[in-house]
Amino acid sequence: MNSADKVASYGAALQSLNDNGQLRRLKSRTGIDFASNDYLALASAPRMKMAVTAALEAGTPIGAGGSRLLRGNCEEHESLEAEAAKFFGAETTLFFGSGYIANFAVLTTLPQRGDLLVLDALVHASIHEGARAGRAEFCESAHNDPRSVENAIRDWRAKGGMGRIWIVVESVYSMDGDFAPLKELVALADRYDAFLMVDEAHASGVYGEQGRGLTARYEGCENLVAVHTCGKALGAAGALVAAPRVLRDFMVNRCRPFIFATAPSPLTAVAVQEALLILQQEPERQQRLANLIAFTHREISVCEDWRPPESQILPYIVGDNARAMTLASALQARGFDIRGIRPPTVPAGTARLRISLTLNVGENDVRAMLDALRDETKDGAR
């Protein structure tokens, strides 16, 4: 077999993706930011830079040098976890290198053989991957439908399922921008003696008092596990799993992605801790974003037949993959960094623009972007 034959199947797969309008390519960041998850503009905030610089000058290492159970457990990690537990109102937190790893870690460690995971159909890919790799059975429920969750639980029990139930949702959905019915899901979890795992990736820093997220009012419940991503509104990287102490201790002892991975950079822990402090000391950031979200939705309601959910994530559904990417390219050419999202990231037939609102833009930028979107779709390009 020659070298070309060895990679021929990969080339054929890429060609198939291209034929279906699904081939991905890396693109540099250019234009006005309507694509990032840097909701509070903390990623380049002077205070964040100063905190990391001061930590470096004080001797904080760039790398941890090992796993947390070896020499990689640094005081910066422990300080962050203690402060984050206080901030989010949780008994404990545990710091992971990314939101993807945190979701995967929880779902491959805490649910046991004989348990059932009920996943909302639109949860993050990391949650689906964790469910597939874990010990428990899993099924999907219809999106944001507590009755579907309950039916899945009842059906499983009727077939003899005896283990623990885990209901797994996002508080704000990353591609649709809508909100989970947390009140009803908490009640369901209590009724069926189930755990509720909530991915707060797009709510942490944005919603709740001082940005504590949408699970803050339920923290302290022994059946709640919340994952707070630190690379979006918190402007850094990593993720904090907020959970009762017994679950944290279990993960420290049994979680392979925690035990066998080099610990996150201590400098990242410093940055995240500074971000939590900024949320408390600069509440105007959260308020400014809330005002920008409200302004944008008012502008849309006046001129458009488009009605996205009332969050900072604005999905503009196009449908066809190629048309979505063509529209994204047209807006990029006009100076707006807006990306097209295609299956399998979203369901087939729902290719879209995912427009996000951050403090990296102002009201004039929003007006200009909406004007450009109208111009590019007025001839039926949508």
Q: What pLDDT does residue 29 have?
A: 85
Same domain, 144 and 228: yes
Average pLDDT, the chain: 95
Task: Quote the pLDDT of residue 28.
Answer: 84
Please indicate whether residue 86 is annotated as part of the active site: no
Q: 243 and 219 in one domain?
A: yes
Which of residues 264, 281, 298 is at a domain's end?
Answer: 281
- Give me the CATH number covering residue 185: 3.40.640.10
- In this prediction, residue 2 carries a pLDDT of 64
Q: What pLDDT is attached to residue 152? A: 98
DSSP 143-174: TT-HHHHHHHHHHHHHTT--S-EEEEEESB-T
Dig out the tokens for 34 from the structure. 């309507």
- The CATH number given to whatever domain includes residue 321 is 3.90.1150.10
**Exposure string (b/e) for 359-375, b if CB count within 10 Å is 16 or more?**
bbbeeebbebbbebbee
Q: How many Cα atoms occupy the beta-carbon half-sphere of 110 within 13 Å? A: 29
Q: How confident is the model at residue 302 (pLDDT cuts 50, 70, 90)?
A: confident
Q: Which listed residue (77, 128, 202, 228) is catalytic?
A: 202
Q: Which of 76, 170, 337, 376 is an active site residue? A: 170
Domain membership of residue 346 (yes or no) is yes
- CA-nearest of 44, 65, 47 to 55 is 47
Model pLDDT, residue 1: 56
Residue 343 clears pLDDT 60, i.e. is over it: yes
Q: 374 pLDDT exceeds 90? A: yes
What confidence tier does 20 reach under pLDDT thresholds 50, 70, 90? confident
Q: What CA–CA distance (Å, rounded) separates 14 from 121?
A: 27
Strands 165-170 and 116-120, sheet pairing = parallel
Chosen domain end from 254, 281, 308: 281
Is the separation of the CB atoms in 111 and 235 below 8 Å?
Answer: no
Known catalytic residue: 170?
Answer: yes
> Does the structure show a pLDDT above 70 at 275?
yes
299 assigned to active site:
no
Q: Is there a single domain that holds both residue 303 and residue 258?
A: no
pLDDT tens-digit readout, 223-247? 999 999 999 999 999 999 999 999 9
State the pLDDT confidence band at 380, using cuts at 50, 70 and 90: low
Considering the domain architecture, whether residues 197 and 257 belong to the same structural domain is answered as yes
Are 209 and 310 in a shared domain?
Answer: no
Catalytic residue (choose from 98, 171, 174, 265): 174
Q: Per residue in 139-159, pLDDT tens?
A: 999 999 999 999 999 999 999
Backbone angles phi, psi at 89, to 5 degrees: 80, 20
Q: Final residue of a domain: which of 226, 250, 281?
A: 281
Asked whether residue 238 falls in the same domain as residue 370, the answer is: no
Q: Tens digits of per-residue pLDDT, 51-98?
A: 999 999 999 999 999 999 999 999 999 999 999 999 999 999 999 999
Which alpha helices (DSSP H) does 159-282 contain, by range? 182-191, 245-254, 256-259, 266-281
Q: Which of 120, 176, 199, 376 is catalytic?
A: 199
Taking alpha carbons only, the member of 333, 331, 339 closest to residue 370 is 331
Q: What pLDDT was estimated at residue 27?
A: 84
Does residue 232 have an active-site annotation? yes
Smallest CA-to-CA distance from 114 within 145, 173, 46, 160 is with 160
- Is 6 assigned a catalytic role? no
What the block records as the tokens of 291 is 């005002």
Kindly state the tokens that stand for 83: 């402060």
Which among 120, 232, 311, 360 is annotated as catalytic?
Answer: 232
Is 347 found in the same domain as 249? Answer: no
Note whether residue 101 is domain-resident. Answer: yes
Model confidence at 382, pLDDT cuts 50, 70, 90, reads: very low
| 75 lies in the same domain as 181 | yes
Residues 231, 291, single domain; the answer is no
Query: Do 322 and 198 share a structural domain?
Result: no
Burial tier of 301 (Cβ tally within 10 Å: 0-12, 13-18, 19+)? exposed
Q: Does the residue 50 lie in any domain?
A: no
Asked whether residue 351 is assigned to any structural domain, the reply reads yes
Average pLDDT of 263-280? Answer: 98
CA distance 200 to 213: 7
Tell whether 54 is covered by a domain. no
The catalytic position among 124, 128, 178, 223 is 124
Number of domains in the chain: 2
Q: Which domain holds residue 315?
A: 27-42+283-377
Same domain, 68 and 149: yes
What average pLDDT does range 111-139 have in this prediction? Answer: 97
